[in-house]
């Protein structure tokens, strides 16, 4: 059985008219693997996430989730298909409580899977204990680190096959950022496929099983972390302005 969970084949996408932000993008996300996506601001990384998750419909190419074409499928339907998105901006409902935010994505399944959901709820609080004492608090009243914990706890509740994670450590204290990357690693170890974007390029390269480089809407290089330590990607290192 193939370990490929998500596959993009020649995807072109944009926001208006003939202006293409993504051009002929192909990549693969595998079960239990972290795939890192790096590139300068404006390279098209967020547009790629929005296209995968159905906010934008591809102009051409195909997006497949476990072999099934999901190109342009509505975001709410993709949750049931096993695809989840943790955006850079908050996806929380600030005036709902922590508990309500956690339960909301699975609310429609309660009748059939009530017992499973309750068990998963308990497991989620065990993994994210900081939220247990905040269950009745409004999500908007949480600190930045607590809100990020809630974002990842929601993903843990849903337990998707593939999770798209956009800039999870931005604006966080270093200690909290370390915890965030530990959660991502734990998600992958549980069998989830991860597509990760973060401004901390060193961290992304170090923790990813495979790395894609995006420039001006195209995948310009890809390989393992070892590939990025040699001369093969010297040019990539130069325009990113870092040394791996």
Question: What are the backbone dihedrals phi and psi of residue 33, each rounded to the nearest 5 degrees, phi first?
Answer: -110, 145
User: Reduced to 3 states, what is the DSSP secondary structure of residue 50?
Assistant: helix
Query: Position of tokens 């600030």?
Result: 94
In sequence order, which ranges of 95-135 are alpha helices (DSSP H)? 98-103, 110-127
Chain position carrying tokens 């929005």: 50
Domain contains 87: no
Alpha-carbon distance of 159 to 163, in angstroms, equals 9
Asked whether 209 and 39 are in contact (CB, 8 A), the reply is no
- Taking the whole predicted model, whether its pTM rises above 0.85 is answered as yes
Q: What is the mean pLDDT of the chain?
A: 89
Number of domains, the chain: 2
Question: 210 in a domain, yes or no?
Answer: yes
Residue 154 and residue 170 in one domain: no
pLDDT tens digits along 166-198: 999 998 888 889 999 999 999 999 999 999 999
**How far is the C-alpha of 111 from the C-alpha of 19, rounded, in Å?**
45
Residues in the chain where the model's pLDDT stays below 70: 1, 108-114, 229-244
Place of tokens 């974002």: 151
201 lies in which domain range? Answer: 1-82+162-244
Q: Is 166 found in the same domain as 239?
A: yes
| Domain end call among 144, 159, 174 | 159
């Amino acid at each position: 059985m193939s370990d490929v969970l998500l596959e993009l084949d020649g995807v072109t996408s944009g926001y208006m008219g003939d202006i293409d932000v993504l051009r002929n993008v192909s990549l693969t996300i595998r079960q239990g693997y972290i795939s890192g996506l790096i590139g300068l601001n404006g390279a098209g990384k967020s547009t790629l996430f929005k296209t995968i998750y159905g906010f934008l419909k591809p102009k051409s190419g195909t997006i497949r989730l476990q072999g099934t074409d999901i190109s342009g499928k509505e975001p709410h339907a993709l949750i049931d298909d096993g695809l989840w998105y943790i955006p850079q901006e908050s996806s929380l409902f600030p005036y709902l409580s922590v508990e309500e935010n956690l339960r909301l994505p699975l609310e429609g399944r309660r009748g059939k899977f009530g017992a499973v959901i309750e068990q998963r709820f308990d497991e989620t609080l065990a993994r994210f204990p900081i939220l247990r004492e905040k269950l009745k608090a409004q999500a908007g009243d949480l600190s930045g680190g607590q809100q990020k914990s809630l974002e990842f706890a929601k993903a843990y509740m849903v337990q998707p096959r593939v999770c798209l994670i956009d800039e999870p450590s931005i604006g966080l204290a270093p200690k909290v950022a370390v915890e965030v990357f530990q959660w991502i690693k734990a998600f992958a170890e549980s069998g989830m496929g991860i597509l990760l974007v973060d401004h901390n390029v060193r961290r992304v390269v170090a923790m990813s099983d495979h790395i894609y480089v995006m420039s001006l809407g195209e995948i310009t290089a890809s390989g393992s972390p070892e590939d990025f330590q040699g001369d093969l990607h010297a040019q990539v290192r130069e325009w990113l302005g870092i040394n791996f």
